[in-house]
Amino acid sequence: MSPNKRTVAVISLVAAALVWLPVVHFLFRPATAYFYAERGIAPKAQEMAARHLALWTDPQGREAELGWREATTILTGTIPPKASAAATMLKALLYMGSYFGAVVLAPILIIGAGLQWFWDQFVGGRQLPQ
């Protein structure tokens, strides 16, 4: 890869990160009415209470729900019961790596590739200012 192409690739990735990271907040923001109620309990609070009650009353549902995510407790210095430290560490690293890869890294790489394609298509033969 020539230095010119490498520079364009780095600039594309940095620009993609600068675009994606602030936009994540706006793309995944729910409606305000979901968190507020004039009278009574807000819909989100009702939903959360029902979910927690279901988790604590159904042992199989709780076990399935807490499976991999429970392994991340090793970050706070605790290990789930009936689990080895090595297995918990591996599960925690795999869980966090897949989560951050999907939510943060993948969109940045996609946007960066799009920016580099745009640069190659429309600015392609021109030299960068030195």
Q: Under a CB-based contact definition with an 8 Å cutoff, are residues 100 and 94 in contact? A: no
Contacts of residue 4, defined as CB under 8 A and 6 or more positions apart, other chains included, come to 127, 128
Per residue in 45-99, pLDDT tens?
A: 899 888 888 877 887 776 666 665 666 676 677 777 777 878 778 887 888 888 8
Q: Please tell me the predicted confidence (pLDDT) of residue 108.
A: 87
The two structure tokens encoding residue 115: 């920016």
Residue type, 103: V
